[in-house]
Amino acid sequence: MNEASEVKFLPGQHVIDGYGRGGFRFADMSHQGNILSLPSGISAWNLASSGFTESDFVKVFAEAQMIDMFLLGCGPSLLTVAQSTRQLFKDFKIAFDPMPTAVAARTYNILLAEGRRVACGLIAVA
Topology classification of domain 9-122:
Hypothetical Protein Mth938; Chain: A, (3.40.1230)
What's the pTM value of the predicted model, to 2 decimals?
Answer: 0.92
Burial 2-31 (b: 16+ CB within 10 A, else e): eeeeebeebeebbebeebeeebbbbbebbb
- pLDDT at residue 80 in the model: 83
Where along the chain do its domains lie? 9-122
- 39-51, pLDDT tens digit by residue? 999 999 998 766 7
**Model pLDDT for residues 57-82, shown as the tens digit of each residue:** 999 999 999 999 999 999 998 888 88
Q: What is the pLDDT of residue 20?
A: 96
Distances (CA, A) of 116 to 36, 72, 92: 17, 16, 17
**Mind listing the pLDDT tens digit for each residue in 88-102?**
999 999 999 999 999
Banded model confidence at residue 4, pLDDT cuts 50, 70, 90? very low
